[in-house]
Amino acid sequence: MELTSTKIKSLNSLKGIVKSLKKEEKTIVLTNGAFDLLHYGHIVYLKKAKGLGDVLIVAINSDFSVKKLKGEKRPIMNEKERSLLVASLNVVDYVVVFEEETVRNILKELKPHFHVKGPDYTVETVAESKFSDSLGIKTIIVGEKKEHSTTDIIKKIEGLYG
């Protein structure tokens, strides 16, 4: 059985969607990450991100970019699986996969109102924050203190079954 989701879009199709949403005066929120092994921390963070606006777009790192950022053993799940899992969440309106190590190009193309990152960042440590500022996009940190991570889950599994 081949699973799909109408929430998963190309960057080009999202540009048109976002343009229409802005005409309707909707507030657009963008967040990004690997979302490898979806966990409780992701859910809390995504719910809080959605609470900042009308439309939540989640940009998911491609398998290629996850390997570059997190090492050869990652991702655990491929980009299609990760995209489908995130798209299945009610708080998520759209998902887009990106190849680069940062979301600068997506920020430039979509110009959301907010770029949201989780609690393992500060505004100063978000790689794109100065770039976002130059485009008039506000960088916001949301979520609970970082107590959940894919890396920690992997270590726990290795400890139990390794």
Asked if 68 is an active-site residue, the reply is yes
Task: Assess whether pLDDT exceeds 80 at residue 148.
Answer: no
- Residue 1 within any structural domain of the chain: no
Asked if 19 is an active-site residue, the reply is no
Q: Which amino acid is at 153?
A: I
Q: How many domains is the chain built from? A: 1
- Residue 6 within any structural domain of the chain: no
Q: What is the mean pLDDT of the chain?
A: 92
CATH of the domain at 106: 3.40.50.620
Q: Quickly state the pLDDT bin for 147 (edges 50, 70, 90).
A: low
Dump pLDDT digits (tens) for 103-126: 999 999 999 999 999 888 999 999
- Residue 155 within any structural domain of the chain: yes
- Residue 122 within any structural domain of the chain: yes
What is the domain range of residue 15? 11-161
With helix as H, strand as E and coil as C, how does 40-102 read? Answer: HHHHHHHHHHHCCCCEEEEEEECHHHHHHHHCCCCCCCCHHHHHHHHHCCCCCCEEEEECCCC
Residue with more model confidence, 65 or 159: 65
- Residue 3 within any structural domain of the chain: no
Out of 47, 68, 111, 138, which one is annotated catalytic? 68
Q: Quickly state the pLDDT bin for 146 (edges 50, 70, 90).
A: low
pTM of the model: 0.91
pLDDT at 61: 97
- Residue 5 within any structural domain of the chain: no
Secondary structure class of 141 (helix, strand, coil): strand
- Residue 76 within any structural domain of the chain: yes
pLDDT at 105: 97
Lowest mean pLDDT across 43-47, 66-70, 146-150: 146-150
